[in-house]
Every structure is written in structure tokens, then in C-alpha cells.
């Protein structure tokens, strides 16, 4: 559509999507999602390595519902059929991406935004795709939404460099539009490999696209936000995207509720407030 109204229409569509009211064209017959690799759980736990404190032995831990147990009409996740690469590492994955031209998102990008943070992180945040600032700097979540994400991480008692941050697609969709399904399908294997290489204890999906992609559901995030799922041995929870919080500050309390669940899972306590100077 070539119309002066296009940017406004796109902004509204993104707003509704953040609210979980879209994307409308994705709705289709629901099927049951197959089990998500329970055998990975033991390996993930045994291999987890991080500066983050562990949950003490015997301490209560939230038991996530398995995806197929949740009341979610879902479609098979893109990740279910993906084979594992033995001995994989983030460096090797980045090398394999190369100067990627596997999908049309390569045409308008400046930089491939691979991901950033601790390769041994116990906590990974997955967003949708790079925006303008990310495309320029080559780093995820560095714009206004990124600053808010950094504040959220610090409110959890962590530093940004303690976690790993990445996106579903590595190249900026033109005009910050939502990535198309075929673009997500083409780029997702790299995210799958990143998550398998890091083996985090917790994955937090930021926004509808990340949550729908990892869970393989067409349902809106508002229907399962804050619930625990099992994703290939990691616990996974979806919450609202920081960009949505910039537009809808009233939703911050819901996101903080979700992040407190993550903190409990990781045995984190919020940092003590700094004493006021006299």
C-alpha cells in the first residue's frame, strides 16, 4: 500500500499485535503440539554453568506445565524437527550465518544482529527482530526498548552482561514491520542452535512473535503470558515486549510479576535500594 496513512496503520497493527490481537492471518486449525524433547532436561541441568546462584537442594521450584498440557491450541513448533549440531558454539553459529542472504531481510539490513551476552548465561531473552538502532549498532535491544530491557534486567539483580539477548530474526525487517512467516522459518534454525549451545535454565520470550514462534502456537500472548512451559529442557515464559511497555506503561506491573517468577526460579533477589545521600 502506497499511502501517507501506511505508517499509522502499521503502528496500529503492531499495537494490536502487542496486545495479542493478531496477527489475524495466522489463525488456522489447531493441532496438538508434540512433546518438546524432555531428554534435553537432564543434560541442560547437568551442564548449566553460570555466575547465577542455584536453587538450593530441596527448595521448592515452580513446576512448569508441559506445553501439551497447557490449554493452548497449537501448531507444531518450528524447532521440533531441527537436528542438534554436536559441539556447537556461538562463534561457529555466527560463522555459519556469514554474510547471510538466505531470506529477503538481507536486502535492507545494514548489519546482522546475531546476539549479545554471556555464552554460559542461565537466562536468555528472545525478542522479535532488530530495529533501527540495533541495525546500526549490530547489537540487540539498544534503542529505547533496549534501555528499558536493561533496566528490567538490573531490577532483577543482574547485569546485562550476565544474560544473553537475541532475536527470532537477525536482520531488521524494513520499516520495523513484523517478520513474515517464511523469514522466521528461514532464520529460526540459528536461534535454535544458539539456545542449544547456551542451554539456559530459563528463556524469556519478549512479545507475541517470539512466544508464538518458540511455542508453535497462533494464540495471543495474553492467553499464556506468565505461564511456565518446557522448551527442550529449559523453562520458558512469555511476557510483553519492552516496546509495548513504552506505549502501555500500565502493563509494567504484569511484566514485573512475570520477572519475579523468573527470579524465583533462578534464586535471585532484587538488589537493595541505594541509600539516599543526605
Q: Among residues 48, 78, 105, 148, which is the contact residue for ligand SF4, using CB under 6 A?
A: 105
User: How are beta strands 229-231 and 234-239 bridged, if at all?
Assistant: antiparallel
Q: Among residues 110, 111, 186, 223, which is the contact residue for ligand SF4, using CB under 6 A?
A: 186
Piece of the chain touching ligand SF4 by CB under 6 A; list 38-46, 164-172, 219-227, 257-265: 164-172
Q: Among residues 170, 193, 235, 261, which is the contact residue for ligand SF4, using CB under 6 A?
A: 170
The least CB distance from residue 113 to ligand SF4, in Å, is: 9
Cα 120 off chain centre by: 17
Distance CA 29, CA 21 (A): 17
Piece of the chain touching ligand SF4 by CB under 6 A; list 8-16, 93-101, 221-229, 264-272: 93-101
Q: Among residues 112, 148, 197, 263, which is the contact residue for ligand SF4, using CB under 6 A?
A: 112
Strand order, beta sheet including 202-206: 116-117, 164-167, 123-127, 202-206, 234-239, 229-231
Q: Which is nearer to ligand SF4, 124 or 259 (CB)?
A: 124
In terms of Cα–Cα distance, which of 95, 105, 58 is closest to 193?
A: 95
97 touches ligand SF4 (CB under 6 A)? yes
126 touches ligand SF4 (CB under 6 A)? no
Q: Which is nearer to ligand SF4, 32 or 182 (CB)?
A: 182
Across-strand partners of 31? Answer: 74
Q: Which is nearer to ligand SF4, 142 or 171 (CB)?
A: 171
For residue 250, cis peptide bond before it (omega within 30 degrees of 0): no
82 touches ligand SF4 (CB under 6 A)? no
Q: Among residues 121, 163, 171, 251, which is the contact residue for ligand SF4, using CB under 6 A?
A: 171
In terms of Cα–Cα distance, which of 233, 244, 164, 172 is closest to 204?
A: 164
169 touches ligand SF4 (CB under 6 A)? yes
187 touches ligand SF4 (CB under 6 A)? yes
Query: Nearest 5°: CA angle at 185, between 38 and 64?
Result: 30
Length of the chain: 278
The grid coordinates of residue 177 equal 514491520
Distance CA 238, CA 210 (A): 8
Where on the phi/psi map is residue 85: left (φ > 0), alpha (ψ -120 to 50), or beta? beta
Q: Among residues 70, 78, 103, 196, which is the contact residue for ligand SF4, using CB under 6 A?
A: 103
Query: Nearest 5°: CA angle at 151, between 114 and 179?
Result: 35
Q: Which is nearer to ligand SF4, 39 or 185 (CB)?
A: 185
Residues in contact with ligand SF4 by the rule CB under 6 A: 97, 100-103, 105-106, 112, 169-171, 183, 186-187
Amino acid at each position: 500500500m502506497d499511502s501517507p496513512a501506511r505508517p499509522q496503520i502499521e503502528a496500529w497493527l503492531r499495537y494490536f499485535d502487542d496486545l495479542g490481537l493478531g496477527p489475524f492471518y495466522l489463525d488456522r486449525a489447531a493441532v496438538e503440539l508434540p512433546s518438546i524433547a524432555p531428554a534435553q532436561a537432564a543434560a541442560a541441568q547437568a551442564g548449566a554453568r553460570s555466575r547465577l546462584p542455584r536453587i538450593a537442594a530441596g527448595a521448592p521450584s515452580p513446576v512448569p506445565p508441559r506445553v501439551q498440557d497447557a490449554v493452548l491450541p497449537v501448531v507444531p513448533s518450528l524447532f521440533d524437527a531441527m537436528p542438534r549440531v554436536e559441539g556447537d558454539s556461538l562463534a561457529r553459529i555466527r560463522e555459519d550465518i556469514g554474510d547471510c542472504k538466505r531470506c529477503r531481510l538481507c536486502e535492507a539490513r545494514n548489519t546482522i544482529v546475531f546476539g549479545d551476552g554471556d555464552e554460559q548465561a542461565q537466562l536468555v531473552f528472545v525478542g522479535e527482530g532488530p530495529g533501527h538502532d540495533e541495525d546500526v549498532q549490530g547489537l540487540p535491544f539498544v534503542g529505547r526498548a533496549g534501555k528499558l530491557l536493561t533496566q528490567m534486567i538490573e531490577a532483577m539483580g543482574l547485569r546485562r552482561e550476565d544474560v544473553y539477548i537475541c532475536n527470532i530474526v537477525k536482520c531488521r525487517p524494513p520499516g520495523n514491520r513484523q517478520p513474515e512467516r517464511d523469514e522466521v522459518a528461514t532464520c529460526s534454525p540459528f536461534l535454535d542452535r544458539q539456545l542449544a549451545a547456551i542451554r539456559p535454565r530459563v528463556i524469556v520470550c519478549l512479545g507475541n512473535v517470539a512466544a508464538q514462534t518458540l511455542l508453535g502456537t497462533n494464540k495471543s500472548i495474553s492467553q499464556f503470558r506468565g505461564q511456565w512451559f518446557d522448551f527442550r529442557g529449559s523453562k520458558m515464559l512469555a511476557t510483553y515486549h519492552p516496546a509495548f511497555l513504552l506505549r502501555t506503561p500500565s502493563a509494567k506491573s504484569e511484566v514485573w510479576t512475570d520477572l519475579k517468577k523468573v527470579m524465583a526460579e533462578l534464586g535471585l533477589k532484587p538488589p537493595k535500594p541505594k541509600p539516599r545521600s543526605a
